[in-house]
Chains A and B, each alone.
Chain A
Amino acid sequence: MTAVLPQQRTLTYAEAVREALAQAMEADERVFLLGEDIGTYGGAFGVTGDLVHRFGERRVRDTPISELGIVGAAVGAALAGMRPVVEIQFSDFTAQAMDQIVNQAAKIHFMLGGAASVPMVLRAPGGSGTGAAAQHSQSLEAWFAHVPGLKVVMPSTAADAKGLLLAAIDDPNPVIVLEHKLLYKQSGPVPEEATRVRLGETAVRRSGGDVTIVATGVMVSRALEAAGQLAAEGIEASVLDPRTLRPLDAAPIVDSVTATGRALLVQEAPQTGGFMAEVAAAIVESSAFGHLRAPVARLCGLDVPIPYAPQLERAAVPQTGDIVRRARELVTTW
């Protein structure tokens, strides 16, 4: 007996995002894109590619260089019943648009007593590793996760890049999708169908009994690589990827830590005020507390702006070797 598997083929993360956008636009006239250089140019990271040729300039809009304008217009369009999908060229420049994101998009449904909603998606590439310096390399997920009314996702695989984006476009709330620049060229199996990945479901990427590693974004693949190396030393790690930061699906994390008794939380963003502090709190506030055999550990970016020089840039954020070292320390010391 053979199980019927959904048709998959290998796509890059960027291609997976583009496919999600194309399928969403094919299925629903209300979906349209707006951003800087997303038309003929195909996007600063090539994500929108040829979409302007397939869907026309009305639905793939090159906008004036004004991020506040882009998001403000998208909020307005969403209120009018459209399904705008915004691309901000670098997630750093959501800063220009923060007023519209935080004070309008996130609040409108609440303040209108549910009379209107803002089904808007904002995609933006974040993260370091490309030599783009302090103003083009930040990991700002904690900013958004802190704002009630927003949902926040961080896809770490090509399949999730597609599935989470499709779910985000369906979602009646404003959803911030933080893609990662280093992942755009990574490939993985992606379903051909417009398969959704539900928002708010943590993925267990690997199971092992000695330590639970929770990681987001580009740190997920580093954590998996680290887990492989640890396994060669006889240390078995679980790797969990929340995928959606808000709403956070903490139950699988709690279950895993209950079993392993050790938690290592890995994020690229600077430590102070970072999202992994929230995950740590979720663990220690849960029944897993009584099962902890070691203090909950975080491995985060240094509390510095991302430096420009490549060797300093690497030093500023966790690398695979750092994850191995910290996980080993946790398991052997406790």
Chain B
Amino acid sequence: MFDPYVADIDAEALRGLYRDMVLVRRGDRESNAMQRQGQLGIWVPLLGQEAAQIGSGRALRPQDMAFPSYREHGVAYTRGVDFRELLGIFRCTDHSGWDFKAHGFHPYTIVIGNQVLNATGYAMGQKFEGKVGDDDGEATIVYFGDGATSQGDVHEGFVWAAVYDAPVVFFCQNNQWAISEPTERQSRLPLYQRARGYGFPGIRVDGNDVLACLAVTRWALDECRHGNGPVLIEAFTYRMDAHTTTDDPTRYRLSDELEVWKHKDPIERVRAHLARTGGADTAFFEAVQAEADSFAAELRDFCFNMPDPPPERVFANVYAEPSPQLDAQREEYLAYLSGFAEAGEH
């Protein structure tokens, strides 16, 4: 049923998906290392979830809108958000550095589940504006985790999207863990089966198979584009690293589990397939490796040279227009700071 959705993926396209996954993994590992070296405040690894993110992200069209949670660096990359722009969020210099409308990629959401309602509202807007109904229609995709499926926000999003036929793809990356809690703590039922109770289709896809993720997400987006949304996709995958750099997963899970999932590594699978079918030669793999190395070097360079925000930034953007109260607090604060500067001159 889904084969037609990847009929156009020839060896060249598959090499492209492979390259995407290698680059985002390299960006992820480099960022993780920079956090360890004290250059980033925290890092949220995507290791193991490359296929789910690249497959679904590459299914999106420019007119579509994506709402991520906080681990979707791979999706960000497919939306044309420069990986370097993500680093500000983790170096504590910026809340989000990109123009979300231009990229069709909303800022990260850290409060679990919130973005699902926002995405539903956004999709309702796409429908009300008449942008849904044919091949060129718009659609929204929203990313959340297995843990998030317990939040009321997510269930309410399901209800709203269903009753308003909102063109939204609910993309749940079930990476088996919500920090230390396994998915059994969130559900008795496989998560994709929840959709049925709300009256829309739910499907589970092998989240470590980039082609399967691409196919299923293209299908789901197409359904939404044509006015047949919403759709729930559960991408069955695994968080191969810690929840964040502040976490130590050996406290709550066995390393055997990780070993099993290593055999399903999403990148190795494509590499093996390309090598076996002659879709790529050694020169290609070496070139991608070299590209990843320079990508990582650029990231480091950029990160180390990121400027700190100026002190008055603290008062910026609290309200949409100037606020006399905050203006007064800013004046007082700047005068206070300049007091130090003067004292320092003597």
Q: Are A and B co-members of a single complex? A: yes
Q: A-side interface residues toward B, CB under 8 Å?
A: 36-37, 39-42, 44, 62-66, 68-69, 92-93, 96, 131, 133-136, 272, 302-305, 307-312, 315-316
Asked whether B181 lies within 8 Å of A62 as measured between CB atoms, the reply is: yes
Query: Could you tell me if B111 and A40 are in contact, using CB atoms closer than 8 angstroms?
Result: no
Determine whether B185 belongs to the interface, using a CB cutoff of 8 Å to chain A.
yes
B95 at interface (Cβ–Cβ under 8 A)? yes
Report Cα–Cα, A307/B312, bound state, in Å.
11
Q: Across the two chains, which residue of chain B brings its CB closest to A41?
A: B180
Q: B95's contact among A42, A93, A302, A308, by CB below 8 Å, is which? A: A308
Q: Compute how far the CA of A311 lies from the CA of B318 in the bound complex, rounded to whole angstroms.
A: 18
Q: Would A42 and B314 be within 8 Å (CB), given that A36-B181, A136-B110, A308-B93 are in contact?
A: no
- Neighbouring B residues of A62 by C-beta, 8 Å: 180-181, 185
Say whether A41 contacts B314, CB under 8 Å: no
B325 interfacial by beta-carbon distance below 8 Å: yes
Task: Name which residue of chain B comes closest to A130, CB basis.
Answer: B41
Segment at the A interface, from B22-30, B147-155, B257-265: B147-155
Point out the residues of chain A lying under 8 angstroms from B313, CB to CB: 307, 309, 312
Query: What is the total number of residues of chain B having a CB less than 8 Å from a CB of chain A?
Result: 36
Do residues B314 and A307 form an inter-chain contact, with CB atoms below 8 A? yes
B338 interface residue, CB < 8 Å from A?
no
List of B residues within 8 angstroms of A131 by Cβ: 41-42, 92
Bound-state Cα–Cα, A66 to B111, Å: 11
Q: Are A66 and B150 in contact (CB under 8 A)?
A: yes
Contacts of B151 in A (CB 8 A): 65-66, 96
CB contact list, B292-335 vs A, under 8 A? 308-309, 311, 313-315, 318, 325-326, 329, 333
Contacts of B153 in A (CB 8 A): 96
Interchain CB contact (< 8 A) of B251 among A40, A305, A310, A316: A40
- Leading 5 A-B pairs by shortest Cβ distance: A41-B180, A64-B150, A65-B147, A66-B150, A312-B314
Contact B94 A68 (CB under 8 A): no
Q: Is the CB of B179 within 8 A of A36?
A: yes
Q: Which residues of B contact A (CB under 8 A)?
A: 41-42, 89, 92-95, 110-113, 147-148, 150-153, 178-181, 185-186, 251-252, 308-309, 311, 313-315, 318, 325-326, 329, 333
Cross-interface CB contact of B181 among A65, A303, A310, cutoff 8 Å: A65
Main secondary structure of the interface of A (DSSP, over half): loop
Q: Is the CB of B309 within 8 A of A312?
A: yes
- In the complex, which of the residues A65, A69, A136, A302 contacts B329, with contact meaning CB atoms closer than 8 Å? A302
Most chain B CB neighbours (cut-off 10 Å) among A39, A62, A136, A316: A62
Q: Which of B111, B181, B186, B311 contacts A93 (CB 8 A)?
A: B111
CB pair B93 A302 closer than 8 Å:
no
Contact residues in A for B110 (Cβ distance below 8 Å): 133, 135-136
| In the complex, residue of chain B having the shortest beta-carbon distance to the beta carbon of A38 | B180
**A39–B180 alpha-carbon span in the complex (Å):** 9
Q: Which residues of B contact A133 (CB under 8 A)?
A: 92, 95, 110
B residues within 8 A CB of A305? 318
B182 to chain A, nearest CB (A): 9
Asked if B92 and A310 make an inter-chain contact with CB atoms under 8 angstroms apart, the answer reads yes
CB nearest neighbor in B for A92:
B111
Q: Which residue of B lies closest to A89 (CB)?
A: B179
CB-defined contacts of B311 to chain A, threshold 8 Å: 311-312, 315
A131 nearest CB neighbor, chain B only: B41
Contact B152 A66 (CB under 8 A): yes
A146 to B338, CA, bound (A): 38
Q: Considering the chains assembled together, what is the distance between the CA atoms of A40 and B313 in angstroms? A: 41
> Chain B's nearest CB lies how many Å from the CB of A185?
14
The reply to whether A68 and B152 contact each other, CB–CB distance below 8 Å, is yes
Asked if residues A311 and B150 are in contact (CB atoms below 8 Å), the reply is no
